[in-house]
Amino acid sequence: MSRSLMQRLALPSAIVVAIATAAGCSGGNNGNNNPAQGTSTAPMPAAPAPTTSAGSPVYNPAAPVTAASAAPGATAMAPGMASTSAMANGGDFASEAARAGMLEIKLADLALQKSHNSQVKSFAREMKQDHTQADQKLKQAVGSGQQLPTELDADQQQQVSSLQSKSGTAFDKAYADQAVQDHQKAVSLFENASTNASTEQLRSYASKTLPTLKDHLKRAQQLQSKVGG
């Protein structure tokens, strides 16, 4: 075989080998050297906050307290804030006791003016005297720390107006009925205050006044039975 023929036969084989070699190199570059298609590392997601089995965040004492981390509906108490419920209870009792005493004095004055029944008048005189003395002792028990009311509330004013509109036996009956109701409320109020009032002075005042109020209630019930028919 002539040299020229062998050269012509060898040329296609060399071309095939060259093409295959080029293809292999290209494939290797695509897997290792191409930055667009190479292996990239995705950013790691942030680790979730630890939670309890119930799904609540684990308490971290070093973490700052924010509005989002606070319990729903929780209200922060300012440092040094003290409860005033005891003071309020004492103030309520003193105010109620003062108004109750004022009411009995006003009703007694009406009875002394309008009634013609000697038993009603005698009872009214005693009510005015005892409740005036009780009012003096209440002011001493309260001291200068509280201003006691000087007027009746709306309901009490209505009671006075209602009684004032009556006369004769109707007045006597209404006055006795009102005295029973008022002293039932007063006994309950003072019994509670004798153990629950906010100061020792008020508890002592309530305890010492309570027997007189119970006696008033008993006498009011007796008067009611006499004039109620």
Higher pLDDT pick, 167 / 79: 167
Distance CA 63, CA 41 (A): 32
φ, ψ for residue 156, nearest 5 deg: -70, -40
pLDDT at 113 (0 to 100): 97
Q: Which residues contact 216 (CB under 8 A, 6 or more apart)?
A: 126, 127, 130, 179, 183, 186
Is it the case that residue 205 has pLDDT exceeding 60?
yes
pTM reported for the whole predicted model: 0.61
- Which domains can be identified in the chain, with CATH numbers? 87-227 (1.20.1260.10)
pLDDT at 144 (0 to 100): 80
Distance CA 157, CA 174 (A): 15
The region of weakest confidence among 51-55, 104-108, 186-190 is: 51-55
Largest CA distance in the chain: 167
- What mean pLDDT comes out for the span 37-54? 49
Q: What is the DSSP string of 80-121?
A: T----HHHHHHHHHHHHHHHHHHHHHHHHHHHHHH---HHHH
Residues 17-42 have pLDDT tens digits of: 444 454 454 444 444 444 444 444 44
Is it the case that residue 3 has pLDDT exceeding 80?
no
- What mean pLDDT comes out for the span 148-169? 95
pLDDT at 132 (0 to 100): 97
* Residue 38: other Cβ atoms inside 10 A: 10
pLDDT at 120 (0 to 100): 98
pLDDT at 17 (0 to 100): 46
pLDDT at 157 (0 to 100): 96
Please report which confidence band the pLDDT of residue 68 belongs to, taking 50, 70 and 90 as the band edges: very low
Higher pLDDT pick, 160 / 45: 160
Is it the case that residue 51 has pLDDT exceeding 90?
no
